[in-house]
Amino acid sequence: MDILSFLLISLKLLFFFYEFAFAIDSISSSESIRDGGTTLVSVDGRFELGFFSPGSSKNRYVGIWYKKVPVKTVVWVANRINPINDSSGVLMINSTGSPVVVMRQNKTVVWSANSTKEAKSSVVLQLLNSGNLVLRYEQSSGDGLGSYLWQSFDYPCDKWLPDMKLGWDLKTGLERRLSSWKSPDDPSPGDFTWGVERQGNPEVVMWKGSNKFFRSGPWNGITFSGAQELMFNPVFELNFVNNEDELYLTFDLIDKSIFSIVVMNQTRYLRERLTWSETTQNWNVYSYVPRDYCDYYGLCGAYGKCITTQSPLCQCLEGFKPKSTGYKDWSEGCVRNEALNYSKLDEF
């Protein structure tokens, strides 16, 4: 080995240790994360929290992204509806123990966590290996899910990560629903959302504004009846929990070393499952819904059926005709060809 490569290797090692020695995964009440300063990095180095600007925007937001993925993929945003227009932002724990994002310039609070429990002793804000940002007591170990005073997983943005609950805490009424970004430059909530519908037989539903857009059908113990593509696959497993306290859906990765997430894509009105490819260094679309045009909720309306291979896609059931004249709006569905004539039926 020549002296130059020896030096290079030594330098690399030095940087490696430097990174580890100085990366922190949590802050206490006396510490803060400043725009342009240090970031939080989860212990396993998978996730990073800091300030960022989305797309071509110059606004500053506090977000969490994959540290190891070269294509910046922001999985959660704190002040998504209230950006900062300069570099004076600070993330800190305020004097009563709530995580807040403050503008240094004029001391305006642009975001604060909705902590339901009041902190009774000193707390820390920690970025976990799961990508969950949690507020917990300093003494607690930080692995008991119930013991967090607050967690970012309770306030999803547009990405669904392993172990993140989609659905309801029935005791507190908290709903965890995904919502798309308005645009690649603006993380504020768009009109494309996905969550669990509480009433009746629970179903997982996507909404476009207040209109139902796509539903997966009821849970049959293994998958959702209307979403067969969710069944046997080598990448993830779904878990659906429905009891007195909670109603939610989560997913686990079968191979925990891969990165696989679900994204609400408002540009295409698709819910996409993306999987990171080390080979192409890009996110690949693993699956998406609606799968085909027939999956759109209510496309063919009452007494209509949808056939992907036919044109028009919508057909009426036997003995029915389109309600809307001229076949213009299939969502109005179909009506009987003629009023039932019981005297006629009597003849049979």
Instruction: For residues 16 and 20, give the distance between their C-alpha atoms in angstroms, rounded to a whole number.
Output: 6
Closest CA to 61 of 188, 217, 182, 153: 188
Contact window for ligand NAG (CB under 6 A) among 93-101, 187-195, 237-245, 322-330: 93-101
**41/103 with CB nearer ligand NAG:** 103
Q: How far is CA 13 from CA 9, 10, 209, 228, 316, in A?
A: 6, 5, 52, 49, 70
User: Site for ligand NAG (CB under 6 A): how many residues?
Assistant: 21
Among 10, 17, 94, 117, binds ligand NAG (CB under 6 A): 94
**32/265 with CB nearer ligand NAG:** 265
Among 171, 318, 344, 348, binds ligand NAG (CB under 6 A): 344
Among 178, 263, 314, 316, binds ligand NAG (CB under 6 A): 263
Instruction: For residues 20 and 18, give the distance between their C-alpha atoms in angstroms, rounded to a whole number.
Output: 5
Helix (H) or strand (E) holding 93: strand 89-93
**118/318 with CB nearer ligand NAG:** 118
**175/237 with CB nearer ligand NAG:** 175
Q: Where are the alpha helices (DSSP H) in the chain?
A: 3-22, 342-345
**56/95 with CB nearer ligand NAG:** 95
Contact window for ligand NAG (CB under 6 A) among 104-112, 129-137, 246-254, 310-318: 104-112
* 172 near ligand NAG, judged by CB under 6 A: no
Instruction: For residues 62 and 79, give the distance between their C-alpha atoms in angstroms, rounded to a whole number.
Output: 6
Supply the minimum distance, in Å, between the C-beta of residue 70 and ligand NAG: 15
Q: Extract the tokens encoding 58.
A: 């110059």
**98/151 with CB nearer ligand NAG:** 98
**95/309 with CB nearer ligand NAG:** 95
* 147 near ligand NAG, judged by CB under 6 A: no
Q: Is 65 in a helix, a strand, or coil?
A: strand
Among 49, 103, 128, 149, binds ligand NAG (CB under 6 A): 103
Helix (H) or strand (E) holding 110: strand 109-112
The dihedrals phi and psi of 38, each to the nearest 5 degrees, come to -70, 165
Q: Extract the tokens encoding 337.
A: 């060809």
Contact assessment for residue 213 and residue 197, using Cβ atoms and an 8 Å cutoff: no
Residues between 148 and 167 with contacts to ligand NAG, criterion CB under 6 A: 155
Among 26, 79, 98, 250, binds ligand NAG (CB under 6 A): 98
* 106 near ligand NAG, judged by CB under 6 A: yes
Q: State the Cα angle at 240 between 236 and 245, rounded to 5°.
A: 140
DSSP string, 249-277: EEEEESSTTS-EEEEEETTTTEEEEEEEE
Contact window for ligand NAG (CB under 6 A) among 105-113, 122-130, 307-315, 324-332: 105-113
Supply the minimum distance, in Å, between the C-beta of residue 225 and ligand NAG: 27
Q: Which residues bind ligand NAG (CB under 6 A)?
A: 85-86, 94-96, 98, 100, 103, 106, 108, 112, 114, 155, 263, 265, 267-268, 339, 341, 343-344
